[in-house]
């Protein structure tokens, strides 16, 4: 070998050792970088004319177990879903029902307090503090139900906003992956690009359930697990418009996929005329409750359908469209049976002294004439000063509504009037000094609601003439204490009207010490009321306290299961992350050992260069 060849060989050794040192130093510098895969220096011998000509450094080799990485992505998608569900159900526990130990603040605690107040009132309804205590507890229960209903819808709204933010993040990841693909196709440094690619894929896998495969030129294609392409040659863009406000009647828009070229970069919206593929359908919720089912194709427009099974996006959709609506249904059911049982008891009682006028809460919509009706109810005109009965009226519930109201008005001639106001509410108004007392008698009005359940009403209860609660017409949980009762506690009905049908009928109103009406309010908490199966609560009838306890218990069980599933997924992801790190992570001891080895190799090559230089000097000096 000539001196020139020796020098060339030594120089290649210097360059190779220098790159090896650079790779090792890069590993050490990125030992704590998340998603960094260890690089291994690679080199090969150079041969010219059958003779060794030094060494040549190759591109560093990236150390990674593709099977483990793919498994980690799949588990990350599962964790993304379970963690999103865990978070929202945990928020339900703390914000809707109160943290553990706060038993008096939640719906069940308020219902228990009202039941206790009703028991105390039944013992002595003449005491103003007990009346005030009962009305205050009723107001607090109504407020707790209203607040719980609002908080559930607020959580749905938060989930919807997070879906919108997540869609933007997914689009950003896909755009960055497309840029990495372009660089790899142009022959960029593959090891570093693969690190960037894997970090982006890890982020995307937490959000969506994806599958990937490599193309021949080093690029990666990304599909949803069901096969829908997200990045294959060209990129797709997810488009979603969140709802401005969320209620139980909100229709959410679809999540659609568009080609990137069909998106206006200025607005982020599809250009006019562009068509996309619907990924997640728009609609009201994932399943319709019985009262919304029509059995027609129109139902499909109300159902949100998603092809995904894992990923944070799916977890948010599941919470927004299935779990939280089920909870809202259960709260609505609790509010309905609470209002029905307590309003029935209050309408069956009479205040002392009885009121001079009553205005119903029901806006007549034709259900009276369509319902099953029978029997006779009673109305007595009472002297408010003495409590004596001035007049007794029999109300035949078999009559149609117009005839019934006309007959009642005629029977009250000389004492007062009865009519339907402009909104269809029944109004009974007597002269000054005269009070109205009502009794159900054997009268019954049975109404079947949209969910197929039957409700039995007395005359006063059906028209809402003496309700305890008022309610929003489209939000069952939006309860409040009836305004007249809140302003005037003396209107709390604690007495009962007794009627001997005769003939002639004789009506007698119990006095201020009559406890029967108050006892009826206390007994309302033990009354079994028909219910519709809602989620895990499949009972056909329940008491107020029983349903509240079942609701809280079922929610706690669901939250515990969600937490357990998320913890199991978290443990698996951590275990897989550790295994990936054992393969791809940087071991400082090994890297420092390699650093010493490559430094020695560099020193040897440098020494050969120095010796060769000295030999050249010797040869030149001989030539002189």
Q: Does residue 411 contact residue 381 with C-beta atoms inside 8 Å?
A: no
Q: Is 282 left (phi over 0), alpha (psi -120 to 50) or beta?
A: beta
- B/e letters for 484-511, b = 16+ CB within 10 Å, e = fewer, are ebeeeeebbbbbbbbbeeeeebebbbbe
Q: How would residue 186 be classed by pLDDT, with cut points 50, 70 and 90?
A: confident
Better-scored residue on pLDDT, 609 or 393: 393
Q: How would residue 319 be classed by pLDDT, with cut points 50, 70 and 90?
A: very high
What is the share, in percent, of the chain residues with pLDDT greater than 90?
Answer: 65
Whether the model pTM is above 0.85: yes
- B/e letters for 534-553, b = 16+ CB within 10 Å, e = fewer, are bbebeeeebbbbbbbebbbe
3-state secondary structure at position 328: helix
How confident is the model at residue 100, as a pLDDT?
A: 56
Better-scored residue on pLDDT, 15 or 280: 280
Q: Does residue 498 contact residue 508 with C-beta atoms inside 8 Å?
A: yes
For residues 148 and 531, give the distance between their C-alpha atoms in angstroms, rounded to a whole number. Answer: 19
Half-sphere exposure of 527 (CA within 13 A, CB side): 20
DSSP per residue over 347-359, as a string?
HTSB-SSPPSEEE
Q: Which one, of 49, 50, 62, 58, lies nearest residue 12 by Cα?
A: 58
For residues 378 and 504, give the distance between their C-alpha atoms in angstroms, rounded to a whole number. Answer: 13
Question: Which H helix or E strand runs over 288?
Answer: none
Q: Does residue 357 contact residue 379 with C-beta atoms inside 8 Å?
A: no
Q: At what angle do helices 190-207 and 66-91 cross, to 10 degrees?
A: 30
Half-sphere exposure of 251 (CA within 13 A, CB side): 7
Q: Which one, of 411, 406, 418, 373, lies nearest residue 394 by Cα?
A: 411
pLDDT tens, 15-36?
887 887 887 887 788 787 777 7
3-state secondary structure at position 112: helix
DSSP per residue over 217-253, as a string?
TS-EEEEETTS-EEEESEEEEEE----SS--TT--BP
CA dihedral 66, 69, 75, 81 (to 10 degrees): -120
Q: Is the Cα dihedral 350, 351, 356, 357 positive or negative?
A: negative
Query: Residue 337: which residues within 8 A CB-CB, separation 6 or more?
Result: 529, 531, 542, 543, 544, 547
Report CA-CA distances (Å) from 139 to 190, 593, 620.
68, 75, 109
For residues 604 and 598, give the distance between their C-alpha atoms in angstroms, rounded to a whole number. Answer: 10
Of 49-63, 66-80, 365-379, 421-435, least confident by mean pLDDT is 49-63
Residue 358 dihedral angles phi and psi, to the nearest 5° = -135, 135
How confident is the model at residue 46, as a pLDDT?
A: 79
Region 381-404 average pLDDT: 96
Query: Residue 189: which residues within 8 A CB-CB, separation 6 or more?
Result: 59
Question: Which H helix or E strand runs over 378?
Answer: strand 376-383
pLDDT tens, 100-145?
555 556 898 999 999 999 999 999 999 999 999 999 999 999 999 9
Q: Does residue 255 contact residue 239 with C-beta atoms inside 8 Å?
A: yes
Q: How would residue 607 be classed by pLDDT, with cut points 50, 70 and 90?
A: confident
Residue 39 dihedral angles phi and psi, to the nearest 5° = -105, 145
For residues 97 and 557, give the distance between their C-alpha atoms in angstroms, rounded to a whole number. Answer: 13
How confident is the model at residue 102, as a pLDDT?
A: 58
For residues 330 and 319, give the distance between their C-alpha atoms in angstroms, rounded to a whole number. Answer: 15
How confident is the model at residue 351, as a pLDDT?
A: 96
The domain locations on the chain are: 3-63+586-623, 67-83+155-326
- B/e letters for 306-340, b = 16+ CB within 10 Å, e = fewer, are bebebbbbbbbbbbbbbbbbbbbbbbbbbbbbbbb
For residues 81 and 142, give the distance between their C-alpha atoms in angstroms, rounded to a whole number. Answer: 34
Residue 237 dihedral angles phi and psi, to the nearest 5° = -120, 130
How confident is the model at residue 438, as a pLDDT?
A: 98
Question: Which H helix or E strand runs over 310?
Answer: none
Q: How would residue 205 be classed by pLDDT, with cut points 50, 70 and 90?
A: very high
Region 50-75 average pLDDT: 81
How confident is the model at residue 189, as a pLDDT?
A: 66
3-state secondary structure at position 507: strand
DSSP per residue over 431-496, as a string?
-TTEEEEEE-TT-EEEEE-TTS-EEEE-HHHHHTTT-SEEEETTEEEEEEE-HHHHH-GGG---B-
Q: What is the DSSP letter of 98?
A: -
How confident is the model at residue 401, as a pLDDT?
A: 94
How confident is the model at residue 1, as a pLDDT?
A: 56
Region 142-169 average pLDDT: 96
How confident is the model at residue 350, as a pLDDT?
A: 97
Average pLDDT, the chain: 90
Q: Is the Cα dihedral 78, 80, 81, 83 positive or negative?
A: positive
Residue 253 dihedral angles phi and psi, to the nearest 5° = -80, 165
For residues 294 and 507, give the distance between their C-alpha atoms in angstroms, rounded to a whole number. Answer: 47
Q: Which is it for strands 220-224 and 444-448: parallel, antiparallel or unpaired?
A: unpaired
């Amino acid at each position: 070998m000539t001196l020139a060849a020796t020098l060339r060989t030594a120089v290649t050794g210097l360059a190779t050792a220098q790159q090896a040192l650079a790779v090792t130093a890069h590993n050490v510098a990125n030992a704590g970088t998340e998603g960094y895969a260890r690089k291994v220096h690679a080199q090969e011998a150079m041969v010219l004319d059958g003779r060794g000509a030094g060494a040549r450094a190759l591109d560093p080799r990236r150390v990674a177990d593709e099977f483990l990485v793919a498994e980690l992505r799949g588990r990350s998608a599962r964790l993304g879903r379970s963690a999103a569900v865990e978070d929202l159900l945990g928020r339900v526990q703390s914000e809707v029902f109160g943290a553990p130990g706060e038993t008096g603040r939640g719906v069940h605690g308020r219902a228990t307090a009202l039941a206790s107040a009703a028991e105390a009132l039944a013992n002595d309804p003449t005491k103003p503090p007990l009346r005030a205590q009962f009305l205050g507890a009723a107001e607090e229960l109504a407020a707790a139900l209203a607040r719980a209903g609002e908080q559930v819808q607020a959580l749905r709204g938060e989930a919807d906003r997070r879906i919108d933010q997540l869609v933007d993040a997914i689009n950003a990841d896909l755009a960055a992956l497309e840029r990495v693909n372009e660089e790899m196709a142009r022959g960029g440094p593959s090891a570093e690009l693969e690190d960037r690619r894997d970090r982006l894929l890890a982020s995307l896998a937490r959000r969506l359930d994806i599958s990937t495969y490599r193309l021949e030129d080093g690029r990666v294609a990304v599909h949803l697990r069901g096969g829908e392409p997200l990045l294959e040659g060209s990129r797709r863009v997810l488009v979603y418009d969140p709802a401005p406000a969320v209620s139980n009647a909100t229709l959410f828009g679809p999540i659609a996929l568009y080609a990137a070229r069909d998106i206006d970069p200025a607005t982020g919206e599809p250009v006019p005329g562009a068509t996309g593929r619907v990924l997640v359908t728009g609609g009201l919720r994932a399943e319709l409750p019985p009262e919304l089912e029509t059995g027609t194709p129109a139902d499909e427009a109300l159902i949100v359908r998603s092809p995904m099974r894992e990923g944070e996006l799916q977890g948010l959709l599941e919470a927004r469209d299935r779990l939280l609506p089920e909870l809202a249904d259960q709260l609505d059911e609790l509010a309905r049976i609470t209002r029905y049982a307590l309003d029935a008891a209050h309408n069956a009682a009479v205040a002392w002294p009885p009121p001079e006028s009553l205005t119903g809460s029901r806006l007549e919509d034709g259900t009276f004439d369509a319902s099953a009706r029978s029997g006779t109810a009673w109305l007595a005109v009472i002297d408010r000063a003495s409590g004596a009965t001035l007049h007794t009226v029999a109300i035949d519930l078999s009559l149609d509504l117009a005839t019934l109201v006309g007959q009642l008005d005629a029977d009250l001639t000389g004492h007062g009037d009865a009519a339907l106001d402009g909104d269809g509410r029944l109004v009974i108004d007597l002269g000054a000094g005269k009070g109205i007392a009502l009794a159900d008698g054997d009268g019954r009005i049975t109404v079947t609601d949209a969910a197929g359940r039957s409700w039995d009403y007395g005359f006063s209860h059906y028209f809402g003439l003496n309700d305890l609660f008022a309610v929003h017409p489209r939000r069952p949980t939006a309860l409040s204490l009836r305004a007249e009762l809140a302003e005037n506690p003396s209107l709390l009905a604690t007495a009962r009207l007794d009627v001997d049908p005769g003939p002639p009928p004789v009506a007698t109103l119990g006095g201020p010490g009559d406890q029967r009406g108050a006892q009826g309010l206390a007994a309302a908490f033990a009354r079994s009321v028909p219910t519709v199966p809602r989620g895990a609560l499949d009972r056909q009838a329940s008491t107020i306290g029983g349903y509240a306890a079942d609701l809280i218990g079922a929610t706690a069980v669901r939250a515990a299961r969600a937490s357990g599933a998320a913890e199991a997924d978290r443990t698996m992801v951590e275990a897989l992350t550790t295994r990936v790190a054992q393969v791809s992570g940087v071991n400082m001891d090994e890297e420092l050992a390699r650093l010493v080895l490559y430094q020695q190799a560099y020193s040897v090559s440098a020494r050969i260069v120095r010796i060769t230089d000295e030999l050249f000097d010797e040869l030149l000096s001989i030539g002189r």
